[in-house]
Chain A
Amino acid sequence: MIPAGSLLVAEDLHKTYGRTTALDGAGFSIHPGEVVAVMGSSGSGKSTLLHCLAGIVPPDSGTLRYDGQDLVAMTDARRSALRRTEFGFVFQFGQLVPELTCTENVALPLRLAGVRRRAAELTALQWLERLEVEDIGHQRPSEVSGGQGQRVAVARALVTSPRVVFADEPTGALDTYSGERVMQLLTDAARTTNAAVVLVTHEPRVAAYSDREIVVRDGRTRDVDHTV
């Protein structure tokens, strides 16, 4: 059953790595502006699900639709373009480019999309402000704390105004307080831009920032529908 108005829908996804079954009939759906937590124990298939949903890893079988388009059937070039323009990513470890300053890191996705340097860095600065780290704009990732780096990563994920943000354990390397602050800023920013957030986490307090959760177990999902 596909809920009406979904932005991203997956059904019956299967994925194996050699003899390991990572996904075994997983489903997923998300609305614009919705924050969905993907929970489950280690090795249950959460990251694999996120990678399939984001078009990073092709599923062996199953259907995957983003905004009415077939994500599995489309060309690699088209998928890459989607990832660049409509999706944003935050991972457990910032994955910022070490040679660039924080501002340049945040501006990077805009630069790749052809925005001129000054304009891109101006927008980047606004996002750094929004995430309360404008004062570290000139520093390199190695010179900032884990929590600051993660805010920079969130700013970079949101700078292109993506329609879906994929976050895989975005607070995994942070202490409780800065982790929650990152979650607040991420979900606030996503709400104001009406971006959907796919949030992989095994921490209940982080999942509490979502609107709804799904649980992955042995590569299968159990959708927890709060409306029933």
Chain B
Amino acid sequence: MSIGHTLLALLESGPRHGYDLKRAFDEKFGHDRPLHYGQVYSTMSRLLKNGLVAVDGVEAGGGPERKRYAITEAGVTDVSQWLAQPEKPEPYLQSTLYTKVVLALLTGRSAAELLDLQRTEHLRLMRILTDRKRQGDLADQLICDHALFHLEADLRWLELTSARLSRLASEIGAPGRPGPGDQKKAGA
């Protein structure tokens, strides 16, 4: 996630102090990882340098968290552009898993076992997220659901692959059988 854009967008509703920005960020988005003050200062000074925010006053007592920031016109444009830009889908896990499956087949190891282990691992994480979802507020639920849908997509791919190991093995010219878990019906 882009911390810069997030902090910038939080300023659209009105100027805020550094400590206030951190608090707002943590409350809404920092479920697992609250921001360090250091991150806030370095981000804000970068935004300042790029003209996306301006200092709108300093509270007595000094220290960077006492600075009050306001978003500039350029900052608002930047937020708009960021929101309008679709995120790049990241199919990384799939390709790692795919590589592992192919290598298992090529080296005569059990690809079926590998897929079973991965399923267990995925479901383990899905259980943790489901538990958290049950106990959390709506924000927690939405964040967990996002992760759950992604994990589910991986799992569906695992099941499909698992059912087609024989065919994959023969297409990539792997030696021997794919493993004890392979389906007889695969490739039918």
Residue ranges of A at the interface with B (Cβ–Cβ < 8 Å) = 41, 43, 184, 202-205, 207-211, 213, 215, 217-218, 222, 224, 226
Contacts and interface: CB of A to CB of B under 8 A. Distances in A.
A222 B130 contact: no
23 contacts: A41-B163, A43-B185, A184-B134, A204-B122, A204-B123, A204-B126, A204-B152, A204-B155, A205-B148, A205-B152, A208-B123, A209-B130, A210-B127, A211-B127, A215-B119, A218-B183, A218-B184, A218-B185, A222-B116, A222-B181, A224-B116, A224-B120, A226-B124
Given A41-B159, A41-B163, A213-B123, A208 B183 contact: no
B129 interface: yes
Nearest to B120: A224
A209 B130 CA distance: 7
Given A204-B152, A204-B155, A215 B123 contact: no
Interface residues of B, number: 23
Interface of B: 116, 119-120, 122-124, 126-127, 129-130, 134, 148-149, 151-152, 155-156, 159, 163, 181, 183-185
Contacts of A208: 123, 126-127, 129-130, 148
The binding surface of chain B is classed by DSSP as helix
The binding surface of chain A is classed by DSSP as loop
A218 to B, nearest CB: 6
Contacts of A218: 183-185
Contacts of A209: 130
Contacts of B120: 213, 224, 226
Given A205-B148, A217-B181, A222-B181, 4 more contacts: A41-B163, A204-B122, A204-B152, A224-B120
A204 B130 contact: no
A209 B129 CA distance: 10
Contacts of B163: 41
A204 B152 CA distance: 6
A58 to B, nearest CB: 25
Contacts of B119: 215
B126 A205 contact: yes
Contacts of A184: 134
Nearest to A41: B163
Contacts of B124: 226
Contacts of B181: 217, 222
Q: Most chain-A CB neighbours within 10 Å: which of B119, B126, B127, B155?
A: B127
B134 A204 contact: no
A171 to B, nearest CB: 13
Contacts of B127: 208, 210-211
Contacts of B129: 208
